[in-house]
């Protein structure tokens, strides 16, 4: 499976990857960002965790090849059936959706970066536009212990870019994260179309444990106008 950086390309893939049985009566067609997790003690190698309470399981063997590692992915699927459960081997899962998988694309994943003496010098201070809001799709979100960062960069010259999300820049607020964008780095993520939307995933396990109480995570960035912009998202630490 291709590890995708470009969110819009994921959506376009749907037109060519459908291989579902035309005669099956499906309950719906869905797309979602998910965490791929192992499912020990089951006939299935893994499952997709869609939200805190819903597990998505591929209904037909061979539709998905699991590497054995936890990954973030973007999937499209047809829903075959659902069932309630009280015995799923992960906390809080109360419903299992059995699906026919249409497409699955692994998402680009990075660790949070540590704040240093001069974050702008280390991580860059080029403009970046973070897409955040309930009325926008795709939009930056936090789910299952991950930050899904949806953003745009302007790149008419097809340069290399590096995107980092930096923690620890504000000692008074451990839940503040700053998005930094740097140009021309040889080991940067290759982001080539300009003014398009990209989706990177960042695990938040290094943030302080919230217990059972959601905390506000502030996402801050330098936007295309050169001003500091921000948004806030609810975060609750993932149960192990």
| Interval 185-200: pLDDT, tens | 555 565 544 345 688 9
Residues of the chain with CATH 2.60.40.2370: 110-235
State the span(s) of the chain assigned CATH 2.40.50. 3-107
Question: According to CATH, what is the number of the domain 3-107?
Answer: 2.40.50
Q: What is the mean pLDDT of residues 142-154?
A: 89
pLDDT for 229: 96
Q: What is the CATH number of domain 110-235?
A: 2.60.40.2370
DSSP-derived letter for residue 61 is T
Exposure string over 161-192, b if 16+ CB within 10 A, otherwise e: bbbbbbbbbeeeeebbbbbbbbeeeeebeebe
**Which pLDDT tens digit goes with each residue over 36-89?**
988 876 677 889 998 888 999 987 766 677 777 888 998 999 999 999 988 888
For 101, the enclosing helix (H) or strand (E) is strand 95-109
Q: DSSP secondary structure string, 73-97? A: EEEEEEEEEEEE-S--SSTT--EEE
pTM of the model: 0.80
Query: Average pLDDT of 9-38?
Result: 66
């Amino acid at each position: 499976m291709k590890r995708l950086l470009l969110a819009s390309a994921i959506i376009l893939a749907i037109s060519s990857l459908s291989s579902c049985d035309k005669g099956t009566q499906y309950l719906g067609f869905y797309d979602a960002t998910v965490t791929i997790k192992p499912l020990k003690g089951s006939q299935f190698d893994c499952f997709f965790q869609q939200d805190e309470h819903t597990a998505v399981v591929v209904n037909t063997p061979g539709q998905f090849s699991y590497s054995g590692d936890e990954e973030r992915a973007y999937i499209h699927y047809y829903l075959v059936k659902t069932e309630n459960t009280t015995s799923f081997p992960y906390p809080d899962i109360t419903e299992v959706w059995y699906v026919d998988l249409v497409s699955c694309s692994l998402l680009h994943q990075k660790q949070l970066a540590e704040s240093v003496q001069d974050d702008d010098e280390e991580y860059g201070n080029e403009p970046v536009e973070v897409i955040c809001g309930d009325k926008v799709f795709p939009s930056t979100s936090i789910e299952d212990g991950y930050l899904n960062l949806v953003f745009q960069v302007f790149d008419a010259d097809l340069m290399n870019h590096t995107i980092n999300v930096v923690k620890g820049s504000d000692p008074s607020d451990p839940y503040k994260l700053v998005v930094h964008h740097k140009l021309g780095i040889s080991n940067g993520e290759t982001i080539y179309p300009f003014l398009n939307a990209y989706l990177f995933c960042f695990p938040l396990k290094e943030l302080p444990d919230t217990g059972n109480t959601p905390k506000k995570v502030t996402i801050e960035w330098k936007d295309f106008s050169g001003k500091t912009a921000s948004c806030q998202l609810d975060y609750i630490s993932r149960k192990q």
